[in-house]
Structure 1
Amino acid sequence: MPETSQDCKALFLKFVEAASEYCPPVGLQATAESAADGTEAQQSQEGRGAERILGMLSSCPLYRDDTGAAYIQINSRLERLDSRSRSLLAYLSYTYYTLTGKAPRRESIGQAVQVLEGKALCEGTLIEIFNRVGEKDGIIYYHMGGRCVAISAGKWELIDSAPVFFLTFNHQRPQPDPLKGGNSWQFFEFFNNIPEEKRLLVLVTIIASFIPKITHPVLGVIGSHGAGKSFFCGALKTIVDPSASTLLSMPRKEEDADLLLYRHHLLALDNLSELSGSLSDRLSAVITGAVLEKRQLHTDTDIILLRCNPVIVLNGIVPFIHRADLLDRTITVNLERITPTGRREESVFWRQFHEALPSIRGGIFDTLSKALEIYPTVKLKSLPRLADFCRFGFSIGEALGGRGNEFIQAYNENANLEIEEMIEGNSLCAAIVSCMEVRGYLEGTVKEILDKLREIASPATGDKSFPSSPRAFRAHLERLRVPLSEMGINYRVKGKTCKGRLIEFVKADAAPATDDGVSPEGDSELPF
């Protein structure tokens, strides 16, 4: 032991000198170096994985659309560049394994996709994306899963590839080639319970489903048990947009319906009992061209824009659409109950239907090509709601044997039936109509009028069609303005008094007549 401070200082200096000259054992030194090298090797390997994936895809074209989405075309299939895409992840993983014999790291795929997405958004070609049905230079292209059908004025033909871009989804199914000279009316051999007066309207709606960039009406199918509602909707889906998911149920969360509308050109929802007001408003907006917004994750503010132009088919036992805005865009078909002698076994039905499908679809394309030839010469003297659909509908009716005016008449009759349905299904609307039939004129404060209408309607508890307060009364009236006007009933909100704001209802002597005629002269261009 050191006895003095000088001894302690000398001992301390020896320890310092020994420590500065210390070298760790060879084994421990090698372990530390290998650990450091391993981290760098791992990072380098991940980098090489991403670089290899980028090299694999270097010859694939990159695209972008006007919603800010990026795409890559791989073997004629257009894929959205999203690191969470299962189909893209599966393809890249399989290709990488085939070339290297090793599975890629998910981080490597994510890095590669992120680079490609940035490159596509900055350098990619701007394109327009379609789902199942597209258009370019006045020619309609129908994607059959492999080949395409090109439909122009006066003719249609099968082609190997189309000059437009289609989104493809795993649920979509390929189709048999259509037959020229087919018969679209053959569809009603399988559904002879559709009323005769509705058949032209139904067939025109089916054929118009192959026209892109127009507003399509909702097809609402109503019928009792055993009327074949699900078969009818499934057959329409098979004709227009064949899929592994032929019929779908309404999602529990309404916002999940957005993805269904985006992924299906024809969306068939089965066995509905009621449509909420918010979902009715959502469908109305999509029908008229609204772009859907989806948040990427619940934890961030990134928004995905989904553009779609769907055909919507809904079915139920009782009427389920009560909002005037959506009802005004709906064609309703009431199916009669199938008699015991008219029923077929399900396996027999679908076998016979698939055998007839090439003829039915070929007849549809024959009619549509004639309609495209007729369309530029048609101009309706008065334009109803969904004007583009009606003008095309008239052209299709003419192509079906000069039945254009018959289609317009059937369309207007459907609109009148929808108004009657509105009266039956809406307590407030029914009370206003009943009151105005007796009085012809009604004036008072908002509260006074509402109390009077409540006496007439006697709404049940929980009846959402009748307003619960004067404030809600104004909002309900705005939704009913158009159907009330169609019945010759108009209202206006007047000045405010000491008792409250006044409102006035006036019933016209007669509603304006609808002119069903057409002019032989029209626009020379298609609306595309």
Structure 2
Amino acid sequence: MADDEKSSGREIITGYAQQNFRYFRTADGTVYAQKNGHPVARPIRSQGTSGSHRQELMVGLYENGHGVFNGTALKEALDLIEALALTNDVQSVHIRVAPGFDGATWLDLGRNDGQSVRIHPTGWEVMTPSPEEVCWRRTQLTGELPLPAKDTDGKGIDQFLRLCNFANAETECLAIAWLIGCLGPSVPVPAPFLTGPQGAGKSTGGRMLVRIIEGMTGDLRRAPKDEENLIAAVAAGWVTALDNLSHLAPDLSDLMCCIVTGAETIKRALYTDGDVVRARYRRPLLLTGIDVGIIRPDLAERLLQLRLERPTVRRTEDELWREFEEALPVILGSLLDLTAKVRAAVAEIPTDLRMADFAHLCAQLDAATGLSSLAAYRASLDELNDDVIEGDLLAQTVLKHAITLTPGEEVRMTSSEWLHTLTQLYTGDDCRPLPKGWPTTGKVLSDRLKRLQPTLAARGVLVDWGRTKAARYIEMTRPAAPAPEQQQTAF
């Protein structure tokens, strides 16, 4: 093609693109294209096999009679468009859930027409958001949700609970609280851990929870073998569900903590020497398994234990999922009704729990419905603390030593002295061998106690650090029990 024809092609493509699409950049510098009047945005550099902006542009040019252009003209036109877009205002793109104007939030239904759900404390409605308010990003993990049913009178919640094998009412209200939390883009929610005996339907219950938010294509996954693959999966969807876990390695446990409360990864951009790519993520996480072994204290504070029981009557997969799919519009409508009601409720924020936002949501749910989800959440955390202690011999030894302390007594020793004292207490008179992983230095002991500090505090043992002119010390205290009147006030 001659140079003048190339130039003409670039001008035609650029003119058509600027007339029919809105281009903007995100905070990390990625340029997105958004068709006029449509809330879905696509990165202009996407080379995906389906749904890329390049394909969208080629189809639009052809259908509007502008013809078919070669790759050089398209590349040069997109280079110019990208350069122009870098001077535009910054706007965020969102997957599945997004904040809106006037305290509203949005739920992407994953439909081709862009219809979404606007959720507000005054109610919810299905509509197409304006591009200035919400820009959706779609990936292969973005499934389609049905149009939610109106005026369900809470029937959908009852239908969902009948399909699951939750062990008790406390577990049921925690599952509902988690689903409501998943519809909030700015509220970190603890990761539900579905547990129970073999055959209790843990995977099925996990799929149902995921599909209420992600649609019928949502499913459980095996835990990736490395951090990079897990982060890629988390960034491409909203709810990340890991199935049949039997062991939590320290690195995976730490990464799960980051997923729940939010973190950022930075890596070198491909084909560059100095440029970087930033990936920020905070997503709802769901886990299933009979037993994951030792749970680290920091992860235990971010978990939500949901127990299931074996059903007395078995059903076929086809029958179960056909009923669930038919009920999904009503389930989603009831969940949206309850979400709007909960957001309008007024409740005090519990200040003693790590996941204070979720605890506040539980308090709002209780105020709106009369349930006891906050008490159930506290009981779940208490049980998880027991799991942490049962899996940590150092924690058991510290609690054994604390029994010998007088209430209100403060004991200060250096870390090396504490290591000697606790080691002597563990080995006892029979000099039994120390277990694998027992602290070998005072520094290692100090670090382990810092990780166990919240768990020990929940069992009435306070550990603190300080220093004198001579040396640093670790202080252990067993507080005096509060008066009965103070205990009643605390709860």
Please classify the TM superposition score into its range, dividing by the shorter chain length.
0.7 to 0.9
SS in structure 2 at match of 1:212: coil
Cα pair distance change 1:42/1:424, threshold 3 Å? farther
What residue in structure 2 maps to residue 411 of structure 1?
377
**Contact 1:427–1:459 (8 Å) recurs in 2:** no
**Contact 2:293–2:391 (8 Å) recurs in 1:** no
Alignment of 1:339-354 (within 5 A): 339=311, 341-354=312-325
Deviations 1:288-318 (A, max 9, x none): 3333434322863322223334111011120
Deviations 1:87-110 (A, max 9, x none): 4244445556766775733x5544
Answering whether residue 154 of structure 2 is matched by residue 191 of structure 1, we say: no
Distance in 2 (alpha carbons) for counterparts of 1:275 and 1:44? 62
SS in structure 2 at match of 1:201: helix
**TM-score computed with the length of structure 2 as normaliser:** 0.84
Q: Cα offset for 1:213?
A: 0.9
Alignment of 1:42-441 (within 5 A): 51-59=11-19, 60-74=21-35, 76=38, 77-86=40-49, 87-88=51-52, 89-92=54-57, 94=59, 104-105=70-71, 108-123=73-88, 125-136=89-100, 137-146=102-111, 147-161=115-129, 163-182=133-152, 183=155, 184-242=157-215, 244-297=217-270, 300-320=273-293, 322-336=295-309, 338-339=310-311, 341-374=312-345, 377-380=346-349, 382-400=351-369, 402-403=370-371, 406-439=372-405
Q: Cα offset for 1:78?
A: 0.3
Distance in 2 (alpha carbons) for counterparts of 1:44 and 1:250? 54
Cα pair distance change 1:423/1:110, threshold 3 Å? farther
Distance in 2 (alpha carbons) for counterparts of 1:501 and 1:381? 34
Cα pair distance change 1:437/1:459, threshold 3 Å? farther
Q: Cα offset for 1:332?
A: 0.9
What residue in structure 2 maps to residue 15 of structure 1?
none
Cα pair distance change 1:476/1:114, threshold 3 Å? farther
Report the AA paired with residue 449 of structure 1.
W
Report the AA paired with residue 351 of structure 1.
R
Distance in 1 (alpha carbons) for counterparts of 2:92 and 2:74? 27
**Contact 2:350–2:360 (8 Å) recurs in 1:** no
What residue in structure 2 maps to residue 30 of structure 1?
none
**1:472 corresponds to which of 418, 423, 444:** 444
Report the structure number with the largest CA radius of gyration.
1
What residue in structure 2 maps to residue 484 of structure 1?
456
Report the AA paired with residue 261 of structure 1.
V
Report the AA paired with residue 166 of structure 1.
W
Q: Cα offset for 1:45?
A: 6.9
**Contact 2:467–2:473 (8 Å) recurs in 1:** yes
**Contact 1:154–1:369 (8 Å) recurs in 2:** yes
Q: Cα offset for 1:225?
A: 2.2
Distance in 1 (alpha carbons) for counterparts of 2:280 and 2:244? 26
The aligned length equals 465
Report the AA paired with residue 148 of structure 2.
P
SS in structure 2 at match of 1:249: coil
Deviations 1:45-104 (A, max 9, x none): 776665554344222101122333321113622012325455424444555676677573
**Contact 2:143–2:215 (8 Å) recurs in 1:** yes
Distance in 1 (alpha carbons) for counterparts of 2:271 and 2:446? 35
What residue in structure 1 maps to residue 422 of structure 2?
453
Report the AA paired with residue 476 of structure 1.
R
Distance in 2 (alpha carbons) for counterparts of 1:247 and 1:95? 37
Identity, in percent, stands at 26
Distance in 1 (alpha carbons) for counterparts of 2:264 and 2:120? 28
Deviations 1:309-342 (A, max 9, x none): 4111011120356222221121111222x24x42
Distance in 2 (alpha carbons) for counterparts of 1:114 and 1:513? 66
Report the AA paired with residue 70 of structure 1.
V
Distance in 1 (alpha carbons) for counterparts of 2:216 and 2:23? 27
SS in structure 2 at match of 1:342: coil
Distance in 1 (alpha carbons) for counterparts of 2:280 and 2:159? 34
Deviations 1:475-503 (A, max 9, x none): 222111222222221233455899x8543
**Contact 2:181–2:187 (8 Å) recurs in 1:** no
Distance in 1 (alpha carbons) for counterparts of 2:381 and 2:285? 18
Deviations 1:8-31 (A, max 9, x none): xxxxxxxxxxxxxxxxxxxxxxxx
SS in structure 1 at match of 2:87: helix
Deviations 1:418-472 (A, max 9, x none): 2111101223222211222234565544234224434528787654xx4343332
Cα pair distance change 1:381/1:288, threshold 3 Å? closer
Q: Cα offset for 1:122?
A: 0.9
Report the AA paired with residue 394 of structure 2.
L
**Contact 2:170–2:373 (8 Å) recurs in 1:** no
